[in-house]
Structure 1
Amino acid sequence: MSIRRLAATAVALLALAVLAGCGGGAPPPQRARVDVTLLDDGGAEVDLRAAGRLSSDAEARALTRRIAQELFPKTEKIRVSTRKGRGVPFNRAEVDRAYRTGRKASLRIDASGALRRLSAKGFEDTAMRLRVPPVPTTVRAHGDPTGRRAWRLREDVPAPVLAVEMRPRPARWYGAMALPALGALGVALGFFARRRVLALPAAVLAVAAAVLAVVLAAGRQGANLGVAGLLSGTALKLASVAPLTALPLGLPAAMLLGTVLFRRLAGPRPLAEHEARPRDTGVFW
């Protein structure tokens, strides 16, 4: 057999093997993903990412609405829209009053209805994720406390029945608001105090407040006010941002400390014959 005929035979066998591999075996299971997010103000969002079995965007939006109704059957208003995340379209259902806010906010989420809806559309394996506000929360699955926030929805596995209990602590927001207050005090003393013994520690205090605002996640403490039912809407958004004002206050304090350090490293400035060092020892001298 010539080399050309041998090469042609090998290519033909390889093509047959590839075709057999593509056509054989069971088709891959249809997968979907459902993200359930509880909002600070008592609302919720249900995101559905599904493809393969749905013929149009309208059908996908209708399925998203039905799933949201199954997860939150007591809600009266649901808005569904198509969005894009990382270039991939998905559908979001915005649920009003998914739970009642208060000192102890609780709700029950039964995923069995959502599983039936997805199975009827041919989705055999669905990942469901739960996100809760950043407040002290206990999640129970089938009556037992659990730290899980993700589950698989399959026909051969019972769908999770979740009991979510949130215990907001508004005092944490008030504590976080102490950080911008300390930052403002530190900047004021750092720039206007006549004595370095006051100005430098005050500037350090402002920088420390800015660092603590990041470490302690001060911007997330506003969720305690929303879940407790004390604020909502624009007022809640402003309250969530307010503790983060410690960050811009720390910037001028850091520049002030950097200036002092540079002058220390550069050495004392020579005085002219007619110039005398003033008695006050502010940081700029």
Structure 2
Amino acid sequence: MTLLVLAVLAVLAGCGGAAPPREQRSRMEVVLLAGGGAHVDLYAAGRLRSDAEVRALAQRIIRALFPGTGSVRVRTGKGRGAPFARAEIDRAYRTGRRPFLRIDTSAAARELAARGFDDTLMKLRLPPVSATAGPDKSGNRLWHLRKGVPAPVIQIGMRPEPERWYGVMALPVLGALGVALAFFVRRRALAAPAAGLAVAAALLALPLGAGRRGADLGVAGLLGGRALDVASVAPLTALPLGMPAAMLLGAMAVRSLRGPGARHGHEAPPRDTGVFW
């Protein structure tokens, strides 16, 4: 009886009676940059034997997504503990007033399917400007590249507004003006509102997206490279300007509560430098 059971098991194993292997999946992020470039992050190490194979596949995918691209830079990285390969190109779309880009993912889907990845989740990330990308049934700019299913053709339109950068650049200007007046004027009635102006400019910097408005300049083709990097962080200088202004307001509040104050007449001028009352 034991020999019979063993024989049956051997026959089942030889005929593929074991459970089929689980379907392997991969994911990738396609990121368009404000300066016209792009990079693809590929998380597909499960079916590949080495980092070199992952990098080679990432290079083929980015060339499939952006045909006619020039040189591709590829490296291996690790994000949130998961290794990935990043392929970067300098020119994925033409910047301008209304950039438009069409991404056909069918060639990339074939490359992935040829390596055993029959279901790949693709995430698209765009610069922080007004933009549309479709068709997008998920509403989250997510697509599945599945074997045997028509791959999506994504049409992207961007509408940069460079004037928004000029608007947020007013924040550090107002902050610097407020700090200068608060520290060097001779009247507390003017110094306090000036310090409050600097603090308000610092508090508004983050809600207004001061650090993201440089993307409008890059997508519009007005700036690129190092100049774009500087322009992107310039509006954020309103933040450190708010710190000394807040300290000055605190010092003025403590002095008004504890120290003697003159209710009428002119205040005495500052003793030495004119800084702090």
Q: Distance in 2 between matches of 1:56 and 1:185?
A: 57
Q: Distance in 2 between matches of 1:270 and 1:137?
A: 56
Q: Which runs of 5+ in 2 are unaligned?
A: 1-16
Render the CA deviation track for 1:258-278: whole Å, top value 9, x for unaligned. Answer: 11122233x23499xxxxx97
Question: Where does residue 27 of structure 2 map in the other structure?
Answer: 33
Q: How big is the shift at 1:160?
A: 1.6
Matched, 1:118 2:106: no
Question: Where does residue 150 of structure 1 map in the other structure?
Answer: 142
Which of 122, 125, 129 is the equivalent residue of 2:123?
Answer: 129
Aligned-partner SS, 1:33: strand
Matched, 1:201 2:193: yes
The letter of the residue matching 2:267 is R
Q: Which runs of 5+ in 1 are unaligned?
A: 1-22, 272-276
Matched, 1:54 2:48: yes
Matched, 1:83 2:83: no
Aligned-partner SS, 1:218: coil
Question: Where does residue 260 of structure 1 map in the other structure?
Answer: 252
Matched, 1:100 2:88: no
Aligned-partner SS, 2:43: strand
Change (3 A) 1:146 1:56: closer
TM-score, length basis structure 2: 0.86
Q: Which 10-residue stretch deviates more, 180-189 or 69-78?
A: 69-78
Change (3 A) 1:65 1:269: same
Is contact 1:109–1:163 with CA below 8 Å preserved after alignment?
yes
Aligned-partner SS, 1:217: coil
Question: Where does residue 3 of structure 1 map in the other structure?
Answer: none
Aligned-partner SS, 2:46: coil
Q: Distance in 2 between matches of 1:78 and 1:177?
A: 35
Question: Where does residue 162 of structure 1 map in the other structure?
Answer: 154
Aligned-partner SS, 1:98: coil
Q: How big is the shift at 1:284?
A: 4.1
Q: Identity over aligned residues, as a percent? A: 63
Matched, 1:64 2:58: yes
Q: Distance in 1 between matches of 2:137 and 2:226?
A: 34
Render the CA deviation track for 1:14-53: whole Å, top value 9, x for unaligned. Answer: xxxxxxxxx9633221111110000011000011011221
The letter of the residue matching 2:73 is R
Question: Number of residues paired by the alignment?
Answer: 255
Which of 251, 267, 275 is the equivalent residue of 1:279?
Answer: 267
Q: How big is the shift at 1:86?
A: 2.9
Is contact 1:139–1:146 with CA below 8 Å preserved after alignment?
no
Q: How big is the shift at 1:201?
A: 0.7
Q: Distance in 2 between matches of 1:183 and 1:96?
A: 36
Q: How big is the shift at 1:281?
A: 7.5
Q: How big is the shift at 1:223?
A: 0.6
Q: How big is the shift at 1:74?
A: 2.5
Render the CA deviation track for 1:216-256: whole Å, top value 9, x for unaligned. Answer: 11011001111111111111100111101101100000000
Q: Distance in 2 between matches of 1:178 and 1:145?
A: 39
Q: Distance in 1 between matches of 2:251 and 2:259?
A: 13
Q: Distance in 1 between matches of 2:166 and 2:147?
A: 47
Q: How big is the shift at 1:56?
A: 1.8
Is contact 2:45–2:83 with CA below 8 Å preserved after alignment?
no
Q: How big is the shift at 1:90?
A: 1.0
Q: Distance in 1 between matches of 2:185 and 2:260?
A: 21
Which of 136, 139, 143 is the equivalent residue of 2:133?
Answer: 139
The letter of the residue matching 2:41 is D
TM-score, length basis structure 1: 0.83
The letter of the residue matching 2:192 is L
Question: Where does residue 37 of structure 2 map in the other structure?
Answer: 43
Which of 216, 235, 238 is the equivalent residue of 1:224?
Answer: 216
Render the CA deviation track for 1:194-222: whole Å, top value 9, x for unaligned. Answer: 11221111101100000111111101100
Question: Where does residue 178 of structure 2 map in the other structure?
Answer: 186
Q: Distance in 2 between matches of 1:212 and 1:135?
A: 19
Q: How big is the shift at 1:87?
A: 3.4
Is contact 1:138–1:166 with CA below 8 Å preserved after alignment?
yes
Which of 175, 178, 184 is the equivalent residue of 2:167?
Answer: 175
Q: Distance in 1 between matches of 2:141 and 2:184?
A: 51
Q: How big is the shift at 1:54?
A: 0.8
Q: Distance in 2 between matches of 1:24 and 1:207?
A: 68
The letter of the residue matching 2:195 is A
